[in-house]
Amino acid sequence: MKKLDIFKKGLFVENPIFVLLLGLCSALAITTSLTNAIGMGMAVICVLIMSNLIISLLRKVIPHEIRIPVYIIIIATLVKCVQMLMNAYTQELYTSLGVFIPLIVVNCIILGRAESFASQNTIIDSLLDALGMGIGYTIAVVVISFFRELIGTGGLSLFNPFDGSQVIFQFELFGDYAISLLTQPAGAFITLGCILAFIQFWNNRKSKKVGGQ
């Protein structure tokens, strides 16, 4: 498989949220704002990159019989490091994401890439896979949070994760007509369902065009 294909696979063909439907617990819970989505996305990317690199490097050393416990220990250690860094430097984002930061340990995306890819491929390929999957996850949660925040509150805002008092942008479009349901847990499922329906519609449309040719 070409290097670029490995990277692109996580973005589109095997997007962890919109295609594989993995890691939905955190994805639906934290997508109430763009700031949360970007913060969680960056955390997942960091853990994915480091776990894939370490597991790929040690793939010939780790005994097959105990590989899953070893993977979990590696991932848990990395998540704890990320959690401590966020607590130290992005306090408001750390508080906002709450329990979903340590829950990265049991995120199916992280363990799934370790088992299905990093444990069987080279360091470079594992790095590209981690980047593709991590960016794909981040794009997905940003898209979900974009619609939830925009429709649910009538506007959009993004704060500096290192300084919660610094506003990168903030504006209101239709505050009086916002649908607050989208900010609730049920709104996350509704938003995801609508996005998946649109993706399926678009894929079917492309298939018909290809078939027509």
Q: What is the pLDDT along the chain (213 residues), one digit of tens a residue?
A: 688 899 999 998 899 999 999 989 889 999 999 999 999 999 999 999 999 999 999 999 999 999 999 999 999 999 999 999 999 999 889 999 999 999 899 888 999 999 999 999 999 999 999 999 999 999 999 999 999 999 999 999 999 888 878 899 999 988 888 999 999 999 999 999 999 999 999 989 888 877 665
Residue appearing with tokens 């704002």: 33
So what's the pLDDT on residue 164? 77
Evaluate whether 49 touches 126 at the Cβ level (below 8 Å): no
- Give backbone dihedrals phi and psi of 159, rounded to 5 degrees, phi first: -110, 150
φ and ψ of 156, to 5 deg: -135, 150
Residues 2, 159: Cα–Cα separation, whole Å: 38
Q: Where are the domains of the chain?
A: 3-172
CA 186 to chain centre: 19
pLDDT at 1: 63
Overall pTM > 0.85: yes
Give the residue from 110, 157, 141 showing the smallest Cα distance to 26.
141
The Cβ of residue 103 has, within 10 Å, a number of other Cβ atoms equal to 15
Helix H or strand E segment including 156 = strand 155-160
> How many Cα atoms sit within 13 Å of 146 on the Cβ side?
7
Residues 6+ apart with CB under 8 A from 76: 105
